[in-house]
Amino acid sequence: MLVVAAAATLIAAPAASAQSAPTLGAPANGKSLKRGAAFTFKAKLDTASEASGVFLVVSKSKKLDDTGILDGKAYMREMKGSGGSYSKKTDRYPALSDYFLNHRGKYYWQAYAIDCSGGTDDCNVESEVRSFRIK
C-alpha cells in the first residue's frame, strides 16, 4: 500500500521545468554610450538550460509584444555563447542614417532564450528589460 501511495504522489507532482531566462550583464541599466561607437551586449544563461539559442533585441519602446519580447525592434541579433556566457558586439554602420547606434536617444534591450522543454506553446523565455542611452 505504501508503494502505491508513493507512486501516486510522484505521478501527481508537476514536472520541474528546465526553462530559465537569460540574466543581463552589460550594458548596465541606464548606461550612456557614445554615438557611433561599437559596444558589447552581455548575458548569462544557466548551463543546465535546454535553450537552443539566445537572442538580443533593441527597441526605442519598452512596450512588449504578445509573446513578451520588446516590440518595435530597432536591432535583433543572435548572441554567441560559450559556457553559459553570451555576447554580441554591435555592428557599425556609419553610413546608415536610421541605424540605432547612429542616433542619440534612449533605447531598451532584452535577451531571450528559445526553450520548448517546458511543453508550452511560447518557447521564448525572456529576460528583464533594461535601458541605455546613445549620447
Q: Domains (ranges, CATH) in the chain?
A: 2-134 (2.60.40.1220)
C-alpha cell at 98: 536610421
Distance CA 25, CA 42 (A): 5
Region 81-95: mean pLDDT is 93
Report which of 50, 45, 57 is spatially closest to residue 111, judged by C-alpha positions.
Answer: 57
Residue 60: per-residue pLDDT: 96
How buried is residue 131: exposed, middle or buried, by Cβ count under 10 Å (0-12/13-18/19+)? middle
- pLDDT band at residue 11 under the 50/70/90 scheme: very low
User: 85 or 14: whose pLDDT is higher?
Assistant: 85
**Which of the residue ranges 2-11, 22-31, 115-124 has the most confident prediction, judged by mean pLDDT?**
22-31
Backbone angles phi and psi of 95, in degrees to 5: -85, -15
Question: For the chain, what is the mean pLDDT?
Answer: 86
